[in-house]
Structures are given as C-alpha cells and as structure tokens.
Structure 1
Amino acid sequence: MAKRDYYEVLGVAKAATLEEIKKAYRKLAIANHPDKNPGDKAAEERFKEATEAYDVLGDDKKRKMYDQYGFAGVDGANGGNHDYSNVYRDFSDIFGGGFGGGGFEDIFSSFFGGGSRTQGRSNQRGPEAGSSLRYDVDIDFKDAVFGTKIEVAYSHQVACEECHGSGSEGSSGTKICPTCNGSGQVRRNSGFFAIASTCPTCNGSGQVIENPCSSCHGTGLKRKQQKVKVTIPAGVDTGSRVVLRGMGDTGPNGGPSGDLYVYINVKPHKYFVRQDYDLYCQIPISITQASLGAEMQVPTIDGQSIKVTIPSGIQHGKMLRVRERGVTKLNSTDRGDMYIKLMVQVPKRLGMKAKKLMQELSDAMGEDTSPNPVPFDEE
C-alpha cells in the first residue's frame, strides 16, 4: 500500500511551522494511541503513520531531505527504518504545553492509565486529604423560614484506634514494596512505548506494611457511626447546604479530614408557596366582600393572624401585599413580604331569600346580557 504524504497525514500545509506540526501530531497521537483504542488495528496504524510523519517533519534536516527528494530522501537516510526513539525523547516537548502545565506524564496518565519515563524514581505518598461526604435531609417549610437545629447520624472513616492510623501492628513499620522496588510504579511495553502505571501492591506509595494492623487490616482507617447536631439557618431553601468542616473522612497517612455537606430539601407547605424570600397564599372571599369591601383575619406562616382590609370592588385574583411577613433572609433579621391572592367565590347554592336579594341586585345594577369580549390583559 502506497504511503500518504507526511503533510497530508498530519493535516498541515507544507509551509507549516514546527509548532503547528507538533500541535497536529499531538492531537493525532492522543486520539489514536493503542492504549486508548485496545484492539483497534486501524487506530494503531494511524498512530504509527502519524508518528512516522512527525519523526521526519519534526526534524529540520529530515524535513529538508523529504521536501527535496520525497520518501526516497528519508528512507535512504534511515535504511528504510524510522528511529522512533527520537520521537519518544521529544514527547516532553510535544506534550509539555497546552494542557495546564501537566506535561507528557500527566496527559498520558489521564488517557492511558498512568505513565512516566523516569525509572527508579520514588513515588511515595505523604498525607492525603480525606473524602468529603454528603448527607441529604428533609426539613419542614416553617423550619426553613425561621431556622432550626437537627441531629444527623452518618458513617465516616476515622483513624484506627489500635494503630493510631499507622496501619502497622505495634512498631513493625513499613518496608520497600517488592513489586515496584519503591518506585510506586510498574512498567509494561506497548509497541515502542513503555507505559507506567500505579503499582497495585502498594497503591503508588512505594512501601508496604510489614505487619498489618489486625483491626484495620493495614489501612489505618476504620468506619464509625456518628451523630452530630446541625444548625439550619433561617432562610434556607431546597438545594441549600450547610458545611461542617473536618467532619468527613479522615485523610490517609495522617492527612486532614474532609468535610460533611448537609444538603437541604424543604417539604412543601399546605397553604404557602415561596418565591425567593416572599410568601404567597390564596384567601377566598365572597361576592359581597369583594363588592362592598371588608376586614378579615388572615393566618401567617408563624401561626399568628393579621387584620387585612379588602378594598371595595376588588377583582378576582388580585394581590394584597403585607410587608415583613415572608421568609427570614439568610444572615439577617429582615424578612420578605407576604402576598395574599384573593379568590372571589361564587356560591353554588342559594336559598330563596338569597336568590331574591341577588335578583334585586342584578336589576338595580342593570347588568349587561350581551357583553363584548375584553382583552386578557385588561385590568
């Protein structure tokens, strides 16, 4: 099968700069590496083809020979074989930028399960931060408005009391991992690459415990049930969270503990709904109350009642605003407002006297029996 032009393989112009060539190769190498595409022969061939193209175009001398003589110019110089070791040595340059400073080791670690070109380097881990935990809790609507205190029971990891978190029985201590000889990594060959991954025996620490603690089996950590009181501030809503610092899992190797995140779900109220810090409720009124006006006692969220004046001629669905009767604002003593939606109710049944009075009212008002439509947005 005839070879494709190297510039075509990398998808760059013949006048491309070295930086453009590196960028194009980097993209192809990441997408087609055999470890990322196990068993995909087509991807492996594309990877080799791109590597061969970069081997030539990434070298000024080879590129000049290729530009002048084509494949014959570079095949003759290499005896028909390409030296991929040069490409491998250049990886620190190719993959060293554009990935947040992570370099070749980090980019191949993220895609192919870990990798490093440095042999015999110790990868011993120091203290690590513990995991943060999440606890979901349901609270009553009123408790969200005014705040409350609750108790939560949860499970988290703490330092083993028997070995004080060391993982060792007594003073036996640790020894160099026999699998990785203390490097924390094991290596395997993949084509013309040597890929390093975290040692499965020591989990990358480079050391193993000689005599593991019988209580925690060498982990240094044990799971414990715990209860803790949580203060829920006034004004929280569904999705709010309370953070308890240091109440998560204890960190391995003496590291700091994670946090406990208490996520809040507020139960709905039978009569009130909330929007930001304002409360809304619906109050029924009669036709005569709407027509003549009235004074009414309306319940509030705190269990009290307030006097509300209904203006005469009020229409169905209109809102009345009562200041400072809504939800307490977070980290404040101020409150939102309460809005009362008036629902004019038409009686379903009328007695003889009521019917007579309603008919007299209708006659007195001269009601229109052939009304014209009105716009939806008309007040």
Structure 2
Amino acid sequence: MSDTCYYELLGVSKDVDEKALKSAFRKKAMQYHPDRNPDDASAEAMFKEVSSAYECLSDPQKRAAYNQYGRAGYEQGGMGSAGGGGGFGGQRPEDVFGDIFADFFGGRQSGGGRGGATRGSDLRYDYSITLEEAFSGKQAEIEIPTTETCDPCHGTGAAKGYSPETCGTCGGAGRVRAQQGFFTMERTCGACQGRGTVIKKPCGKCGGRGNVHAKRKLDINIPAGIEDGQRIRLQGEGEAGTMGGPKGDLYIFVSIEEHELFERDGPNLYARAPVPFCKAALGGDIEMPTISGGRARVSIPEGAQTGKRMRLKGKGMPSLRSAVAGDLYVELFVETPRNLSAKQKELLREFSESCDEDTNPEHRGFISRVKSFFDASADAE
C-alpha cells in the first residue's frame, strides 16, 4: 500500500465537508471501478486506495486519528477503540457503496408505496396532412392501439380478493445485494423482477400484468401553421402503467404531403409561374392561386426575365410562434412560343429584324465578352 496522503488521493483539502468528500470519492471511484477498467490491476489497486481513504476520512473519529497520527499511526490502531464510528459516517460500508454505485447498476427501485407500480410506455402515432390542412388547422379523430388498465383487478394484477404482497426475497426493495470479496454488488431481484411485490394469484383477464390490449379513439387538434416533422404531445394518452402505475404519453408526429404547386420553407411559400413571351416583354398581369383557396393578381413588369421573383406579402403560411403570416414568392419563367403557324413565324422574323443591340442588352453583353475572350486567346498565341 502506498504512502500517498488520503486527502491527496481524493483531491480534497483537509477542511473538506462531508458532502464535498463524498462527491470527490464518487468521481474517483467511478473512474477506477473494475467494471470500467476490466483486467487493469493498477485501476483496481487505485480503487481500493480511494475506498480506504474515504472509509477513513468519512468517519469523524478515524479522520481525527488520521490527522493526528498520520496514515501509519491510523493503520496501526492509532485511532483508538472508541465506539460509535463504524466507518462511513456511522453507516454500514455496503450502504454507502450501494448509494455511490447506483449509477453503475441502474439505480435503486422502490417496491414500497406503489406496490411495484411503473409508468406506462409512451406511444408514437404518425399522421399525414395536406398543406392546405396545415394552413387552416384540422380537427380529426384517430384510433390508436394501446393498453388500458385492467377493470377486474383495477390494475393491481391480482385476482379478486387478493392483493400484491411484499417480496420476501428483497423485502420490497426490488434489488438484492451480494458480497463478492471486497465489493458489495447490487442486482435486480429475480423473485419479483424488480417490482418489490409478488402476486400469489394473478388476475384471470390480464394474467398479472395489470393492463390489457385495447384500441382507443381520440379527438386531436392539428394547429394552423404546424410544420413537417413537428410533434404534438398528449399527456397521459399513452399505454397504461403496470400495477396501477400512471399512463405514458402519446406523441403525434405530423408529416405534410408534397403540394403540386407550392413548396414551403418555414412560413413562406414558393411557386413557379410560366409567363407568355409577349407578356414578359410588354408587361401585364397574371392570376395566381393562394394556399387559402383565393386568387391574387401578380403584376409582371415590362421586360421581365426568367428567375425574377415576385413577392405577395402575407399570402404564405401562418406561424405557430407569431401572429404575422409568411409571404408567397412567385418565380417567373418566360415561356418560349412553340407550335407557331406560318404567319406567326413571319411576324417573329419581322420583329427579329427590327431589333437592335438595345433590344437585347444581355445578349449584346454576352457577345462582347465572347469577343474579348477570343481576342485574348489570339494574343496569347
């Protein structure tokens, strides 16, 4: 055994209080615990060292003896034989270790009070709606498979005239301890499966579970403005608990179907609208449907180009977090005429011949850039 100071081992000062001492020991013990360091002899040795340090410093009398005589004097009996200490602040060592290592073994389960009652599982229900329904909101009725508290036994799992009894193996704790050399280990009680109670005669309808399979209809409210992937929580609408425990929750995951006209990004909507070639050149109006079912007039400026985006304020989606609605953005694309008659082609030729560089400024700029590119390439040769 090393001569390292107990205070240094735990990383605390000599005036450390009981709460801080236990916290420091918890961290060190978790760090060096054999379950986290399998086949590591040095870690096991350190675990024993910090355990010895805590056993000494957590007891007022042993700590006083250690402070007066040092480690050697304390280990040789310098603390005297005064009673009442017992180590670990007067608690049994296995009790303290059980508290500290509850994190390792899943925590303690209490079988008392509720007779082993456990909360029911949460349920998930996927629900699909249209974009129009997301805009206006929706009231709907759904049917979900779930579990309900068994009526004959009122959720206890025991037959009529019987009640769950405290487990004789674990005394209602739901866990049992086993000493393995230096360590005291905890595990789930095999007799009651951690519930803390046993049923001598189970209910004939539920078989001792305390709940039965069922289908339940629910009225749900889908709020206006809900977005794809958002969920709605209905507290207490999940599966029934066992042994009379509380119900879990129901989570409704909402998905929104793709729309043939609109795309959504948060509260805003986006749509593409074809514009006839002549209307794009001369300007004019087009009519655009809105998600509310109405119509909106979009003014096309003279000389509009493909990709120009027009904003219709307040024609988007409502928002769950704001009273201000989003906008509708209409992206224009100019449609080139097709299936022309001979007369229409002749008219377009006449129009084309009448055009000059000012009529097609982007084309003129492109030709200029192309010419500069070829001139530069020629000079490089």
Output the TM-score relative to the length of structure 2. Answer: 0.76
Are residue 123 (structure 1) and residue 112 (structure 2) matched? Answer: yes
CA distance in 2, matches of 1:333, 1:74: 73
2:2 counterpart residue number:
3
SS, match of residue 18 in structure 1: coil
Pick from 8, 16, 19 the counterpart of residue 18 of structure 1. 16
CA distance in 1, matches of 2:174, 2:322: 53
Contact 2:202 2:208 (8 Å CA) reproduced: yes
Are residue 62 (structure 1) and residue 60 (structure 2) matched? Answer: no
1:191 counterpart residue number:
181
Residue 328 of structure 1 deviates from its aligned partner by 3.4
Residue pairs, 1:193-272, within 5 angstroms: 193-272=183-262
Deviations 1:206-247 (A, max 9, x none): 331121112211111112123334232221111322233432
Structure 1 gap segments, 5+ residues each = 80-84, 96-102, 374-379
Q: Measured at CA, do residues 115 and 268 of structure 1 come closer, stay the same or move farther in structure 2, by a change above 3 Å?
A: closer
CA distance in 2, matches of 1:148, 1:211: 48
Q: Measured at CA, do residues 360 and 163 of structure 1 come closer, stay the same or move farther in structure 2, by a change above 3 Å?
A: same
Are residue 355 (structure 1) and residue 349 (structure 2) matched? Answer: yes
Which AA in structure 2 matches 1:353?
L
2:51 counterpart residue number:
51
Are residue 139 (structure 1) and residue 129 (structure 2) matched? Answer: yes
Contact 2:65 2:74 (8 Å CA) reproduced: no
Between 122-131 and 301-310, report the one with greater CA deviation. Answer: 122-131
Q: Measured at CA, do residues 123 and 161 of structure 1 come closer, stay the same or move farther in structure 2, by a change above 3 Å?
A: closer
CA distance in 1, matches of 2:244, 2:219: 26
Residue 308 of structure 1 deviates from its aligned partner by 1.9
Between 145-154 and 292-301, report the one with greater CA deviation. Answer: 145-154
SS, match of residue 273 in structure 2: strand
Contact 2:238 2:248 (8 Å CA) reproduced: yes
Q: Measured at CA, do residues 164 and 88 of structure 1 come closer, stay the same or move farther in structure 2, by a change above 3 Å?
A: same
CA distance in 2, matches of 1:139, 1:107: 50
Contact 2:209 2:243 (8 Å CA) reproduced: no
Q: Measured at CA, do residues 87 and 47 of structure 1 come closer, stay the same or move farther in structure 2, by a change above 3 Å?
A: farther
Residue 105 of structure 1 deviates from its aligned partner by 5.3
Residue pairs, 1:270-289, within 5 angstroms: 270-289=260-279
1:109 counterpart residue number:
102
SS, match of residue 138 in structure 1: strand
2:378 counterpart residue number:
none
Q: Measured at CA, do residues 339 and 248 of structure 1 come closer, stay the same or move farther in structure 2, by a change above 3 Å?
A: same
1:99 counterpart residue number:
none
Contact 1:147 1:233 (8 Å CA) reproduced: yes
Task: Output the aligned Cα RMSD.
Answer: 3.8
Are residue 174 (structure 1) and residue 169 (structure 2) matched? Answer: no
Are residue 343 (structure 1) and residue 347 (structure 2) matched? Answer: no
Which AA in structure 2 matches 1:6?
C
CA distance in 1, matches of 2:196, 2:313: 66
Contact 2:318 2:325 (8 Å CA) reproduced: yes
CA distance in 1, matches of 2:246, 2:203: 21
2:374 counterpart residue number:
none
Q: Measured at CA, do residues 249 and 39 of structure 1 come closer, stay the same or move farther in structure 2, by a change above 3 Å?
A: farther
CA distance in 2, matches of 1:174, 1:364: 94
CA distance in 2, matches of 1:142, 1:106: 56
Contact 1:327 1:335 (8 Å CA) reproduced: yes
CA distance in 1, matches of 2:263, 2:148: 42
Q: Measured at CA, do residues 89 and 30 of structure 1 come closer, stay the same or move farther in structure 2, by a change above 3 Å?
A: farther
Q: Measured at CA, do residues 190 and 89 of structure 1 come closer, stay the same or move farther in structure 2, by a change above 3 Å?
A: farther
CA distance in 2, matches of 1:231, 1:336: 22
Structure 2 gap segments, 5+ residues each = 80-84, 371-381
Which AA in structure 1 matches 2:356?
S
Residue 331 of structure 1 deviates from its aligned partner by 8.9
Q: Measured at CA, do residues 16 and 190 of structure 1 come closer, stay the same or move farther in structure 2, by a change above 3 Å?
A: same
SS, match of residue 253 in structure 1: coil
CA distance in 1, matches of 2:53, 2:160: 59
Output the TM-score relative to the length of structure 1. Answer: 0.76
Q: Measured at CA, do residues 31 and 352 of structure 1 come closer, stay the same or move farther in structure 2, by a change above 3 Å?
A: same
Residue 186 of structure 1 deviates from its aligned partner by 1.6
CA distance in 1, matches of 2:30, 2:202: 41
Contact 1:36 1:112 (8 Å CA) reproduced: no
How many equivalent pairs are there? 350
Residue 147 of structure 1 deviates from its aligned partner by 2.0
